[in-house]
Amino acid sequence: MSRVQLIDSSNTTANRQALLEQVDKAFGATPNMFKAVANSPAALKSMWGSFGALSLGVLGAKLGEQIAVAIADCNRCEYCLAAHTVLGKSAGATAEEMSAAQAGNSADPKAAAALTFALKVVTNRAQVSNEDVSRLRSAGFDDEHIVEILAHVALNIFTNYVNVAFEVPVDFPKVALNPAAR
């Protein structure tokens, strides 16, 4: 049971309803996370806007979803792990690629570098070194990519914390957390 009300788009204020209708149109349903965040129209607008902006970014949907599952597992967020596993497969990742990403790994060296960096940002609370950034550049990322990786980290921390703190019921096919997670 969620610790905050899950807002019903058919019985709420016009501003909440308008945002939730956009979410519903994009997903074909309104995921519980957005219903929880809709308690604050400002928070919902921020979250939804961030998803929209990053979907147009340079990293691509597949890498964005791989980053999301790595962070979800690191933060022990079952909701985001389930949701982003589905979204990653929709973005062209295989089940094996999403499982590897959950553990912070990828057979693609460029994706592996992004995952390593993203997880270091999370586990070290953004205390990264010049070498960490240099490794991203050596893997083929420029400053636009690097800042966007950090934006994905920030958005996913937001969503993870919402779901964990408020115990939002998972409404995607469940995925097991990595038992050896950080």
Distance CA 78, CA 83 (A): 9
Amino acid code (one letter) for 60: G
Q: How large is the average pLDDT for residues 157-180?
A: 96
Q: How large is the average pLDDT for residues 111-139?
A: 98
pLDDT at 180: 75
Q: How large is the average pLDDT for residues 57-85?
A: 98
Run of H or E including 102: helix 95-102
Report angle CA 62, 6, 84 to the nearest 5 degrees: 10
Q: Pick from 114, 152, 157: which is nearest to 132 by CA?
A: 114
pLDDT at 181: 60
pLDDT at 133: 98
- Look at the block and give the residue holding tokens 């939804």: 48
| pTM, to two decimals | 0.96
In Å, what is the CA distance from 30 to each residue of 1, 24, 25, 105? 17, 5, 8, 31
Confidence of residue 92 (pLDDT cuts 50, 70, 90): very high
Q: How large is the average pLDDT for residues 55-79?
A: 98
Work out whether the CA dihedral 77, 22, 37, 35 comes out positive or negative. Answer: negative
Report angle CA 66, 69, 70 to the nearest 5 degrees: 85
pLDDT at 46: 98
Distance of CA 116 to the CA centre of its chain: 16
In the predicted model, is pLDDT for residue 35 greater than 80? Answer: yes
Residue span(s) of the chain under CATH 1.20.1290.10 come to: 61-165
pLDDT at 102: 97
> Which CATH code for domain 61-165?
1.20.1290.10
